[in-house]
Amino acid sequence: MSGTNITLPIPWPWTVPLARLSPDMAVRKLLVSLFFLATGLFGVVSLAWLAVQGLRRRPLPPVFVGAACLGLPYAHYAFSRADIIHLAHGIFPMVCATG
């Protein structure tokens, strides 16, 4: 299989070796891993919220609808190479919807 990105392991919060890191690096790595988790969860939960509110015929803000529809594609980009730069680009829908 050929690709343009070299994959990196996803930094899940439970895999951060807190005891072996300095306090500032432990906080940094923990926050990065929590934002990866939040990016993926936002993509799934926001689409489910759209479906529930659509069935109830309740209006939602257009910015949230757009962000929810783009959440999973942007999360896919962030997880394609799990580093801080791809996370920074992939987190935009979540930031727009919650900001």
Total number of domains in the chain = 1
Any domain includes 7: no
Tell me if 29 is assigned to some domain.
no
d(CA 30, CA 40) in angstroms, rounded, equals 16
Task: Please give the Cα distance from 95 to 67 (Å, whole number).
Answer: 9
Condensed to tens digits (0 to 9), the pLDDT of residues 10-34 reads 999 999 999 999 999 999 999 999 9
Helices (H) and strands (E) in the chain — how many of each? 4, 0
Is the pLDDT score of 85 beyond 70? yes
Q: Is residue 40 part of a domain?
A: yes
Burial classification of residue 28, based on how many CB atoms lie within 10 Å of its CB (0-12 exposed, 13-18 middle, 19 or more buried):
middle
Q: Tell me the residue range of the domain where 85 lies.
A: 36-98
- Tens of pLDDT, residue by residue over 53-72, are 999 999 999 999 999 999 99
